[in-house]
A and B are shown apart, each in its own frame.
Chain A
Amino acid sequence: GQSLEQPSEVTAVEGAIVQINCTYQTSGFYGLSWYQQHDGGAPTFLSYNALDGLEETGRFSSFLSRSDSYGYLLLQELQMKDSASYFCAVPQAAGNKLTFGGGTRVLVKP
């Protein structure tokens, strides 16, 4: 089976940096993805890591360490619009169905 653990909630102020950790247990590893979901909305794809290291996309970066079964999503220069839930997810096979972590609710305060 597969399981992913991430913190349930994080609160930060505008302009701050937030790191959301995700640890996973999988029978096989095919990459770690991150999705953002605003209340009442659909999840949107943020990033994907298949190899160790840091992937930077604008204010958001994602890191993976396969030896530690660990990854994180880094949100920099936080803005109010970043208040949302963030999910890490792993596919059961390449390009296959996803298993999601419990989600981390990020609340950005002025």
Chain B
Amino acid sequence: GAVVSQHPSRVICKSGTSVKIECRSLDFQATTMFWYRQFPKQSLMLMATSNEGSKATYEQGVEKDKFLINHASLTLSTLTVTSAHPEDSSFYICSARDPGHRETQYFGPGTRLLVL
């Protein structure tokens, strides 16, 4: 199957700082990527849909000014958590749709963010 990578895998930062997470599709082009957040022992909650060359679409309740998404190329989407606070500590996962099989999404390995 297709490969999606994320960087970094784990980050610890101080409250008030910004953190950038990268999501790359390694062997295919992804015009659309998705960003999810997952708290311990809970399900994946979609935060936003990242569209190459246009603005991201945010889910209800997700602050677009706090979670900045940029999808500048067909293989890279970035999520920046601005002015992070302890409640932003979570597991952030991106996914990309398989261009050959639209019903399949490939997920990155996730980024564990801890805000102190």
Contact = CB atoms under 8 A, between A and B. Distances in A.
Contacts of B83: none
A48 B103 contact: yes
Interface in A92-110: 94-95, 97-103, 105
Interface of A is mostly: loop
Interface of B is mostly: strand
A91 B42 CA distance: 19
Interface residues of B, number: 22
A101 B102 contact: no
B15 to A, nearest CB: 24
Contacts of A58: none
Nearest to B46: A97
B111 to A, nearest CB: 10
Interface of A: 30-31, 33, 35, 40-45, 48, 50, 87, 91, 94-95, 97-103, 105
Listed from nearest, the 8 A-B pairs whose CB atoms lie closest are A95-B102, A42-B107, A48-B103, A100-B43, A43-B107, A100-B44, A42-B109, A102-B43
Interface of B: 1, 34, 41-46, 49, 93, 95, 97, 102-110, 112
